[in-house]
Amino acid sequence: MSNLLPLLAGLPLLIFFISLFVPPKQERALTGIVTGGLGINLLLTLLMCFYADWQFLDQKLLVLYHTEHFEFSIRVLFDKFSAVFTMLGAIIILLVSVFSRYYMHRDPGFRRFFSMLLLFYSAYNLLIISGNFETLFIGWEILGITSFLLIAFYRDRYLPVRNALKVLSYYRLGDICLILAMWMSHHLWHRNISFSELGNTGEVSNLFSQHYAGAMFVAVMILISAAVKSAQFPFSTWLPRAMEGPTSSSAIFYGSLASHLGVFLLLRTYDYWSHEILIKAGVFVTGLFTVIVAGGTGRVQSTVKTQIAYSSIAQIGLIFIEISQGWHTLALVHTCGNAFLRTWQLLVSPSVLNYLIHDMFFHFKPGPRLRTATLTDRLRNALYILNLREWNLDRLHYRFLWTPFKAIGHRLNFLRGRTGFLLSGLCLLAGIWLLQSKIVLPEVVLRLSVLFYALSGALMVLYALAERESPVSVWIHAVASQLFITLSVMLNSEVPASQLIWYLSGSGVASVAGYFALRWLIVRESDVHLQRFHGHAYEYPRVAAVFLVCCLGVSGFPVSPTFVGIDLMFTHVDSGQIVLLLLLAVNFLFLELCLLRMYVRLFLGPHQKEYHEVAFRAS
Amino acid sequence: INLEYYFSRVDNYKFGAGTKLPHNVVGLFAVANSSDGDLRPGLPLQMIEVHDPVRLLLVVEQRPDIVLRTVQSEPSMYEWFINEWVHLIAVDPDSREIYRFRYGAFERYQPVSAVQQTENLAAVIENAREMETSHITDATRENLPVYTLNQ
């Protein structure tokens, strides 16, 4: 029975690869393959749930990398949470794909839609059946990218593309928090733990009593990741802006499956944080604030999909409260109910006029007579405006979270020209010389040089984030920042050559390929800059796809061994080196964002050539 | 309705409502593409790709001078013909010749393709080349010429 478990994630992945080769106009063939595969998956899920008889299946599948201190393995785990969530996922995705078969008829992105859906589902299943943080993180990252690609499904318009990048930045924040949680837990337990081991209450309470700060850090990072993914307070603003894709994809992601993954993460790690009253209070308070903020905002929305989105978030806030109290069964029932309800609501939302117009005509209530505003009126109006502005969360995020980093990046414009390249090259060579030579440096100098290289790497990424003119400069600096980071970690502690190869091979190949793809585009198009969207995917879709994969490869997406390498790099950072850790976190957070920002500006957005119809910017 | 269809067909991104898939109902009176963005005028793509908007062609069986006097009698009606919103053909009942209204007068129309004779009209229709897609560039290649039937 445990042999079937990897199939739950493997079968959709296989069908994803098959779907890439079906000719784009063959709708029947494609939907036949997809629906058949998902139907088989549903049967498999049923089999797992009922014949496995709620057994606790915990198995290590394969070990990707192994040293005495570190083991990157793919583990699977199947318990009641997995059963519920996989069943939920299997039913909903089959429903949505059958619906989409007719809904997406004759859309030019038909095949792209189903491929993304399958990749999303395989990532979702991998996440649900994962037995340790590493496997979970693979699913998490792939899910984030498919989410981004499905929001930017209408890649020839400005708004979907802009909102997709915005959602991706929140997802990346959640990714980084999870990486930090993995790093700290590796330091606390001195090995890579699996989720079943989190249930050893003795060991866990031991950990909390001895390394309180570290253990709390892990729990807080998990909470932040879960809050980001489930769009809880204060990260609620990305979800309504994510309704840019086709209705059925919105239904799947933001109504049901993806937005409940925060719930799943908290349930999975419940044994770890449940006895710590502060974390429990944190979960409770997050849920409570979300209920207030999202409940209020949902009531003042003028569009139907955003209203459903906010209501969904408010319900998930309630589920968070239930989890904090330990009422797991209630939380699971509530999750399923919310997921099915929001899926249905979103799928019928375009025809809401049919249902409500009769109601509107025949139950007309005239407005109240004009009178001077009483205190209750004024309070009500104030609340209305507060909720209409979404409690200013979006503006606050922009001002305090993203804009400071962009401002730093703008200051570093000198890196663009020759001087910038020369400076970076010299620093790099100096660093390599330092490593090679056997000079014994005083401790202080060594520490400072480690921090210097990490800081330079972070600054280069920030410059790349804010650069507006030269895409080649962005690419080179993004790649160079990775080299700087590697140098910094190598100066920090001994890094064996095999780990270096794991880290640099994937991103090295991707860097070179991406550079050639970029050059290919620049040779053919005259003005290629980053001040606006170019939309070159209209003429060069294949190059766009290749460039996307290269961007992902450089930023450590699970397509290349660099993914394992990032984990390895983090193990060389001591638990006391807070500044270095922060610099590395900033680096990895903004690396993917700056590369995907470049991809989006060059290839997506309204096409700058006007020999065909182009949408208005505000449409 | 015709003009709405026509403009939505001409440029669906700007004048029409785009594809219906991301449509989000705003307050029971309009649609927008999502939570941000403008309200969409016009018809969605899925509504207008069924038919091709074609200008109306009126065929009148009457002498061209009488037809010309008739349409010029009412200025608001004459606007339709002189501004080419509607095409007008006059077929002379005696000589069976086709006159086309162009630039304010009727001129003899020469058929572009040679008029063929056939016994079996049904066979001609069935064996005609079918259009590959319903897009207007393929639809106009569908070869079903107009015949005059001489009894």
A615 → closest Cβ in B14, B21, B49: B14
Total H helices, total E strands in chain A: 26, 2
Q: Name which residue leads in pLDDT, A58 or A524.
A: A524
B37 → closest Cβ in A305, A352, A618: A618
Say yes or no: B117 contacts chain A, CB-CB below 8 A.
no
Q: What token pair was written down for A431?
A: 């660093």
CB A503 within 8 A of CB A487: no
Report the pLDDT value the prediction gives residue A120, as an integer from 0 to 100: 93
The CA distance from A90 to A8, in Å, is: 9
CB A513 within 8 A of CB A542: no
Which position has the token pair 């399958």? A118
The CA distance from A135 to A78, in Å, is: 13
Report the pLDDT value the prediction gives residue A350, as an integer from 0 to 100: 87
- Considering only CA atoms, which of B37, B14, B12 is closest in space to residue B24? B37
CB A165 within 8 A of CB A551: no
Which position has the token pair 């104030």? A382
Least confident of A403-407, A470-474, B136-140: B136-140
| CB-based contacts of A251, cutoff 8 Å, min separation 6 | A96, A342, A343, A346, A347
> Which residues on chain A are in Cβ contact (under 8 Å) with B21?
103-104, 107, 245-247
The CA distance from A583 to A160, in Å, is: 31
Q: Name which residue leads in pLDDT, A22 or B51.
A: A22
**At residue A265, does pLDDT exceed 80?**
yes
Helix (H, G, I), strand (E, B) or coil at A466: helix
B28 → closest Cβ in A154, A246, A360: A360
Distance from CA of B36 to the nearest CA of A (A): 7
**At residue B87, does pLDDT exceed 90?**
yes
> Which residues on chain B are in Cβ contact (under 8 Å) with A353?
25, 28
Residues 31-50 of B with CB under 8 A from A: 32-38, 40, 46, 49
In whole angstroms, what separates CA A436 from the centre of its chain?
38
**At residue B144, does pLDDT exceed 80?**
no
Q: What token pair was written down for A136?
A: 């979970």
Average pLDDT over residues A422-429: 88
In chain B, whose CA is at the least distance from the CA of A309? B35
Residues 13-32 of B with CB under 8 A from A: 13-14, 18-28, 32
**At residue A240, does pLDDT exceed 70?**
yes
pLDDT digits (tens, 9 = 90+) for A135-165: 999 999 999 999 999 999 999 899 999 999 9
Report the pLDDT value the prediction gives residue B145, as an integer from 0 to 100: 61
> Which residues on chain B are in Cβ contact (under 8 Å) with A247?
21-23
Mean pLDDT of chain B: 84
The CA distance from A331 to A327, in Å, is: 6
What are the φ and ψ backbone dihedral angles of A43, each rounded to 5 degrees? -65, -40
Beta carbons of A303 and B32 less than 8 Å apart: yes
Distance separating the N- and C-terminal Cα atoms of chain B: 39
User: What is the percent of chain A with per-residue pLDDT over 90, rounded to a whole number?
Assistant: 51
Strand ranges for chain B from DSSP E: 24-26, 30-32, 57-60, 87-91, 98-102, 105-108
Average pLDDT over residues A263-267: 95
In chain B, whose CA is at the least distance from the CA of A150? B22
The CA distance from A257 to A566, in Å, is: 28
Which position has the token pair 């000198």? A414
CB A68 within 8 A of CB A316: no
Report the pLDDT value the prediction gives residue A602, as an integer from 0 to 100: 93
CB A191 within 8 A of CB A71: yes
Distance from CA of A619 to the nearest CA of B (A): 5
Beta carbons of B34 and A163 less than 8 Å apart: yes
Helix (H, G, I), strand (E, B) or coil at A57: strand
In chain B, whose CA is at the least distance from the CA of A617? B37
Distance from CA of B131 to the nearest CA of A (A): 17
Distance from CA of A396 to the nearest CA of B (A): 19
Length of chain B as a residue count: 151
B37 → closest Cβ in A106, A159, A304: A159
In chain B, whose CA is at the least distance from the CA of A110? B21
**At residue A218, does pLDDT exceed 80?**
yes
How far CA A20 is from CA of A33, A82, A114, A151, in Å, comes to 12, 29, 9, 19
pLDDT digits (tens, 9 = 90+) for A532-590: 999 999 999 999 999 999 999 998 888 888 888 888 888 888 877 888 999 999 999 99
Report the pLDDT value the prediction gives residue A19, as an integer from 0 to 100: 93
Say yes or no: B135 contacts chain A, CB-CB below 8 A.
no
In chain B, whose CA is at the least distance from the CA of A351? B25
Report the pLDDT value the prediction gives residue B115, as an integer from 0 to 100: 60
The CA distance from A238 to A294, in Å, is: 12
- Considering only CA atoms, which of A146, A1, A10 is closest in space to residue A74? A10
Helix (H, G, I), strand (E, B) or coil at A568: helix
Cα–Cα–Cα angle for A305, A310, A316, rounded to 5 degrees: 125
Chains A & B: contacts with CB separation below 8 Å: 88
What are the φ and ψ backbone dihedral angles of A149, each rounded to 5 degrees? -70, -30
- The CB-based long-range contact list for A114-117 (8 Å cut-off, 24+ gap) reads A114/A19, A114/A30, A114/A31, A114/A34, A115/A16, A115/A19, A115/A20, A116/A146, A116/A149, A116/A150, A116/A153, A116/A249, A117/A34, A117/A93, A117/A150, A117/A249, A117/A252
CB A262 within 8 A of CB A226: yes
Beta carbons of B25 and A360 less than 8 Å apart: no
DSSP B27: T
Beta carbons of A615 and B18 less than 8 Å apart: yes
Report the pLDDT value the prediction gives residue A32, as an integer from 0 to 100: 93
Best of A305, A357, A611 to disrupt the B interface by mutation (most B CBs within 10 Å)? A305
> Which residues on chain A are in Cβ contact (under 8 Å) with B48?
none
Phi-psi region of A548 (alpha: psi -120 to 50; beta: other; left: phi over 0): alpha
pLDDT digits (tens, 9 = 90+) for A437-470: 777 778 888 888 889 999 999 999 999 999 988 8
Beta carbons of B24 and A618 less than 8 Å apart: no
Beta carbons of B13 and A615 less than 8 Å apart: yes
Report the pLDDT value the prediction gives residue B147, as an integer from 0 to 100: 61
Query: For the purposes of burial, counting CB atoms within 10 Å of the CB of B41, is it exposed (0-12), middle (13-18) or buried (19 or more)?
Result: middle
Distance from CA of A391 to the nearest CA of B (A): 17
Q: How confident is the model at residue A504 (pLDDT cuts 50, 70, 90)?
A: confident
Q: Three-class SS string for A401-434?
A: HHHHHHHHHHHCHHHHCHHHHHHHHHHHHHHHHH
CB A41 within 8 A of CB A8: yes
The CA distance from B146 to B117, in Å, is: 12
Which position has the token pair 């779907």? A19
- Measured from the Cβ of residue A512, the count of other Cβ atoms closer than 10 Å reads 12
**At residue A188, does pLDDT exceed 90?**
no
The CA distance from A457 to A481, in Å, is: 4
CB A150 within 8 A of CB A141: no
**At residue B1, does pLDDT exceed 70?**
no
In chain A, whose CA is at the least distance from the CA of B41? A619
- Measured from the Cβ of residue A383, the count of other Cβ atoms closer than 10 Å reads 13
- Considering only CA atoms, which of A78, A45, A85 is closest in space to residue A262? A85
What are the φ and ψ backbone dihedral angles of B98, each rounded to 5 degrees? -100, 125
DSSP A258: G
CB A384 within 8 A of CB A300: yes
A619 → closest Cβ in B24, B33, B35: B33
Report the pLDDT value the prediction gives residue B137, as an integer from 0 to 100: 75
According to DSSP, the residues that pair with A83 across neighbouring strands are none
Q: How confident is the model at residue A206 (pLDDT cuts 50, 70, 90)?
A: confident
Beta carbons of A159 and B34 less than 8 Å apart: yes
Average pLDDT over residues A580-601: 92
According to DSSP, the residues that pair with A66 across neighbouring strands are A71
- Measured from the Cβ of residue A362, the count of other Cβ atoms closer than 10 Å reads 7
What are the φ and ψ backbone dihedral angles of B25, each rounded to 5 degrees? -75, 130
pLDDT digits (tens, 9 = 90+) for A331-364: 999 999 999 999 998 888 888 888 888 888 888 8
**At residue A177, does pLDDT exceed 80?**
yes
In chain A, whose CA is at the least distance from the CA of B27? A302
Question: Amino acid identity, residue A564?
Answer: V
In chain A, whose CA is at the least distance from the CA of B134? A106
User: What is the percent of chain A with per-residue pLDDT over 70, rounded to a whole number?
Assistant: 98
Beta carbons of A154 and B22 less than 8 Å apart: yes
- Measured from the Cβ of residue A6, the count of other Cβ atoms closer than 10 Å reads 17
